Amino acid sequence: MAVMSYLEAIRETLRQEMRHDERIIIYGEDVGVRGGVFRVTEGLQKEFGEDRVIDSPLAEAAIVGTAIGAAVNGLRPVPEIQFADFIFPAINQIVQEAARIRYRSNGAFGVPLVIRAPFGGGVHGALYHSQSVEAFFAHVPGLKVVIPSTPYDAKGLLAAAIQDEDPVLYFEHKAAYRSIKGEVPDERYLIPIGKADLKRTGKDVSIITYGLMVNYALKAAETLEKEGISVEILDLRSIRPLDVEMILETAKRTGKVLIVHEDNLTGGIGGEVSALIAEHALFHLDAPIMRLAGPDVPAMPYSPPLEHAFMVTSDKITEAARKLAKF
Amino acid sequence: MKGVGTLASLNMTPELLKEMYYTMALSRALDDRMWILNRQGRAPVVYSANGHEAVQVGAAMALNRGEDWIVPYYRDLAMVLAYGMTPREVMLHLLGRADDPNSGGRQMPAHWGLKRRHILTTGSVVATQDVHAAGLALASKVLKDGRVSMASFGEGSTSQGEFHEALNFAAVHKLPVIFLNENNGYAISVPARKQMAIMDVAARAQGYGMPGVIVDGNDPVKVYEVTREAADRARRGEGPTLIEAKTYRFVPHSSDDDDRAYRSREEVAEWKKRDPVITFEKRLLDEKVMTEEELKAFQQRIKDEVNDATEYAEKAPLPDPATLWQHVYAD
Amino acid sequence: MAQREPVSGLPVDREKLKTMYYYMVLSRRLDERMWILNRQGKAPFVISCQGQEGAQAGVVMALDSQVDWIAPYYRDLAVVLAFGMTPREVMLGFLGKADDPSSGGRQMPAHYGHRARRIFTGSSPVATQVTQAAGLAWAFKLRHEAAVAVAFLGEGSTNQGEFHEALNFAAVQRVPLIVVVENNGYAISVPQNHQMAIHNVADRAAGYGIVGVVVQGSDPLAVYEAAHAARERALAGGGPTLIEAKTYRYTAHSSDDDDRSYRSREELLREKADDPVVVFRESLMRLNVWDERQEERLQQEVRAVVDDATEYALNAAMPDPSTLMDHVYEKD
């Protein structure tokens, strides 16, 4: 057991899985010699060689499309899209191809593929280095979408994604890379995709969230506890499939639900989660479902006041949960 | 007598040449039957290989069939037949039957995919298969499995970004892949001159640092030879090749298209003089590779196969609606 | 008194040569100041033009900023300055201030855009500007306007599908487009031979049926000539041109990058011997267009301009958080 950062957990998992399974290859822009622009893949090319850690040309559709072909032909590609914001040229390959290949071939072909992409804001990345893109993909049957919140989960979910027979999008929050640290066991383990994690039990308000926001919510819960408000936190971990059972359980337990994400409000995961609660647990609610999310502007601006106005923070979560508790 | 330019002078057995012809003629007959079924209201849509048989069969037969990967496009009926898909399987697919091995009745006709013969499933968005073939080849390079991959596509799809990305990627990494362009001069209704400001798709190869080869797509033997050479290069680790086979489609883009709106009957008639099935048949007879008796036997066998496939597929069950939910994920 | 004289085989106005040099020096000094501000913690991010000024100024001098459109990329500081963006405007964008004309403080630094100065706004995903510039040029053609659109990009971007789609489209439609590839040999850390299996990006032009030219980026006059010829060709209906300027970037990709992990200091020093600012100054002196006294005056002038821009922008107001919701649609 070692304490490591979120980023180190991802790197060490890649290393461990690559040592264990020769079929795993990594490629993407700057992942080789440079070790990735965030250093996630640092040292991996040195250890595994240029055939398994490949610097690709600057072409996202090709990165994903060739990964599909390589997956069908017996490899386990783990391509990296340098920033989630740059995934859109590859949408055709991800949505139209990877997600549909099993279905359209009536089960003949599968695409065991993990696309890693750093996402999220609060890092002065502006419109094109700050986006949360998970909702685009969570809409698509055939894809799985996971977003770890801790180094422990980062490892277990990444290993599970690599072993999965279907395409998995694995989103890593940039602001979590170095700021979030935690204990990570040395041995290999899996966290099943589709299983949420109850981070904290409480009786007044349930906060349902994922990724970096889990950490912010935990901080908010501590503040609120001092005020006598007891907060329960559910970390979804997997955006598709959702853990419906645990979502309904927490909603029924506290009767007050706050859903938090950094992604834009409209059409975000919050809408889906609240629809599930409304359909299956409406009469257990003591207050209308509340959503706290990124505002409906196209993306996050650069200048600090604007960036701060966009970002969902611990303070904003505290304020929203307090309001909900008092309803 | 062996001499330059004769079939006998080639490094090809009479059996292979006859199999080539048989597959081309079978494809044509199956294709014709599909149109009949469509006009009778028994099949909603047809995409045709009619006119492309020589390039498809010539290229497919130059590969280790069933071992090397092919990633075909919707016009490649003759190619998938050459690669081992049966006429029954083709018809099951056309009619959207449960046992369609391409997709279980999910995809439109001519969206090929047959795992046991290493034919990768394909979608409708053009040029996506180019990057897939590069990826298959990337795996072959890493796994050292000795396989070559081949993507085939129309000239219209070479305007897509993924064509560019695939060729560039394959060239940088010297991947064992062949890009086969079946240039029939039209992207549905758009002629090549409005598609690109160059005469030959093959001219693009130099921009990636790979050889670009132009070949007469109506001559299956020439296509076989250049594809063979490209496959040999690929297996030697010398990287990809772009082959442009000049050909023509004799029918509209699909059964929903009317090509009279965009090309003259004279133009079609001119190309039909070089119908690959007819010219190759004549050549095999003239050069005594095939006898009249063998031809008659082939024709009978083709007729039987097409009838059998049609009958078999028409009687085959449609998919159970409950299968709608299957194969979204591996379970 | 000779007003014009043959330079590099082409009549080039002496004043134009001086202007070209001025913008090269100005952008170098402004760029250097940005790094200082970054290291002082006053600016979170810099992305640099250093080493590419010759290619940039050379192209812009061949354009008409009153009618043409440009679609630059993030390394094009000298391009936008020479095309009319002021140092104050650049610094406002660099520091994310409310009056930043590129984006009102919304985009990262170096994401230039200026409607009044005919600089089209750009984003971070590379090569998107090439299709857009083809569209700008197409409109010129359809409206029979005598103007060109110019897209700038790095060589890494030429591997994107959109580069291919743009050049093919522009060639088929014969639109008045100039595509300038500033080939500095690296896409962040990935050297050219890992990006493409060819030596010259310009070789790709043949695959579209257009003219492709290779020029030395440290020779702004050669760049100017190529751009001038391309513009003339475009205006005459001859369609697009692909210009590849061989250049080098002297800094890391950005202030968040460390280039020591992927290129040697020896290589960098070797390349710096061909510094476009120095090489051009020396050739201007050889041509008697320039002397030490003028150089001294210019450096003073530029320092004052850079100081002014810095001070002005540092004192300028930050955007009001309430503007976050502005401009999602035309009317809110």
pLDDT computed for residue C9 by the predictor: 55
**Two tokens at B302?**
């083709």
Instruction: Tell me: pLDDT of C272 over 80.
Output: yes
C257-261 mean pLDDT: 94
Q: CATH fold of C13-317, please? A: Rossmann fold (3.40.50)
B99 within domain boundaries? yes
ipTM of the complex: 0.90
Give the chain A residue nearest C95 (alpha carbons): A303
Of residues A305 and B89, the one with the higher pLDDT is B89
The conformational region for residue B140 under phi > 0 = left, psi -120 to 50 = alpha, else beta, is alpha
Domain range summary for chain A, segments of one domain joined by +? 2-184, 197-325
Helices (H) then strands (E): counts for chain A: 13, 14
B9 within domain boundaries? no
Range of the domain at B115: 16-187+198-251+262-325
Q: Does A70 touch chain B (CB under 8 A)?
A: yes
Of the given ranges (A217-221, B70-74, B125-129), which has the lowest mean pLDDT?
Answer: B125-129
B330 within domain boundaries? no
Nearest-by-Cβ selection for A106 from B103, B132, B173: B103
Gap between the Cα atoms of B17 and C49, Å rounded? 61
Give percent above pLDDT 70 in chain C. 96
Gap between the Cα atoms of A168 and B91, Å rounded? 35
Catalytic, B262? Answer yes
> Which of C282, C225, C284, C247 minimizes the C-alpha distance to C59?
C225
Beta-carbon separation of A29 and C188 below 8 A: yes
Domain range summary for chain C, segments of one domain joined by +? 13-317
CB B248 within 8 A of CB B49: no
The domain tally of chain B equals: 1
CATH class of the structural domain A197-325: alpha beta
Q: What is the CATH number of the domain that holds B111?
A: 3.40.50.970
**pLDDT class of C329 with cuts at 50, 70, 90:** confident
Beta-carbon separation of A102 and B131 below 8 A: no
Nearest-by-Cβ selection for A69 from B114, B135, B328: B135
pLDDT computed for residue C6 by the predictor: 44
Domains A2-184 and A197-325 share a fold: yes
pLDDT digits (tens, 9 = 90+) for A25-35: 998 999 999 89
pLDDT digits (tens, 9 = 90+) for B29-53: 999 999 999 999 999 899 999 999 9
B3 within domain boundaries? no
Q: Does A282 touch chain C (CB under 8 A)?
A: no
Q: Would you state the CATH architecture of domain A2-184?
A: 3-Layer(aba) Sandwich (3.40)
pLDDT digits (tens, 9 = 90+) for B125-139: 899 999 999 999 999
pLDDT digits (tens, 9 = 90+) for B250-305: 999 999 899 998 999 999 999 999 999 999 999 999 999 999 999 999 999 999 99
The residues with which A208 forms a beta bridge, in sequence order, are A234, A259
Q: Give chain A's end-to-end CA distance (angstroms, integer).
A: 43
B44 within domain boundaries? yes
Distance from CA of C85 to the nearest CA of A (A): 20
Give the chain C residue nearest A39 (alpha carbons): C257
Beta-carbon separation of A129 and C187 below 8 A: no
Catalytic, B83? Answer no
Interface test with C, best of A42, A91, A92, A306 (most C CBs within 10 A): A306
Gap between the Cα atoms of B201 and B212, Å rounded? 8
Beta-carbon separation of B210 and C197 below 8 A: yes
Beta-carbon separation of B208 and C210 below 8 A: no
Catalytic, C253? Answer yes
Hey, which chains touch C, using 3+ CB pairs under 8 Å?
Answer: A, B
Q: By 3-state DSSP, what share of chain C in percent is helix, strand and coil, each rounded to 5?
A: 50, 15, 40
